[in-house]
Amino acid sequence: MRHQRLITVLLLVYVWGSHAVQGAVLQDLQKVGEAKLEVWFWDVYHSSLYTDSGEYAPGRYPVALKIDYLRDISAGDLVEATAEQWQKLGYSQQQIAPWLEQVNQLWPDISKGDQLIFRVNPQQTGTFYYNQQALGNIDSPEFCAAFLNIWLSPDTEYPKLREKLIKRSDK
C-alpha cells in the first residue's frame, strides 16, 4: 500500500511537471488559429499559431508556430522541404544557405507525435523547441520572418492552411 501511494505521488508529480513545462513555452500567448496539412491522402502535421493578443498581424511579435507531426520525417527531409518552400517564396540561395546550416544543426529526426515550436520574441530572436525542450536560438530577424513566411506569407504554397492559421474567412 505504501509503495502504491509513493508511485501515485511520483506519477502525479511527473504529470504535473510535464504539463508545467509544456505550458511554459506558450503560456503567455493566445491561439489565433489552427490547421492540418494534408498532402494527397497523407496527414503531415497539425499546426497552430499563437500571439500575445490572439490576433495575427505581420511583423508583430511575440508569435509562435506549433507543429504537431502526424508522420515520421527525417531531419534531412525537413531541411530539404524548408529550402524548397523558401525558394518558392523567392528567397535567394545566398539568403537560404546560412539559414539551412542553422536548422540542419538544430533539427532532429521527427517521429509521429513529436512537436516543434518556433517562438519569436519582440526582439525578433527565434527559439526552436522540440517536444517542449529548447533546441537553440536563431538571432536573425530575417530568418524569423522567412521561416514564418512559409506558413503566413500571402504567397505561401498552402493558402487555405494560412487562412485557417490566421483566422481569415474573407476568402
Locate the domains of the chain by residue range.
29-165
Average pLDDT over residues 92-98: 96
How many residues are listed for the chain in this entry? Answer: 171
Q: Tell me which architecture the domain covering 29-165 has in CATH.
A: 3-Layer(bba) Sandwich (3.50)
Whether residue 88 has pLDDT greater than 80: yes
Residue 40: band (very low, low, confident or very high) from pLDDT cuts 50, 70, 90: confident
Contact 151, 159 (CB under 8 A): no
Contact 148, 63 (CB under 8 A): yes
Cα separation, 41 vs 59, whole angstroms: 34
Average pLDDT over residues 136-151: 96
Q: What is the pLDDT of residue 38?
A: 82
Distance of CA 153 to the CA centre of its chain: 15
Whether residue 13 has pLDDT greater than 60: no
Average pLDDT over residues 154-165: 94
Q: What is the pLDDT of residue 42?
A: 82
Half-sphere exposure of residue 171: CA atoms within 13 angstroms, side-chain side: 10
Q: What is the pLDDT of residue 168?
A: 58
Within 10 Å of residue 58's Cβ, how many Cβ atoms? 12
Whether residue 31 has pLDDT greater than 60: yes
Within 10 Å of residue 85's Cβ, how many Cβ atoms? 20
Report CA-CA distances (Å) from 97 to 49, 79, 83, 104, 139.
26, 11, 9, 10, 16
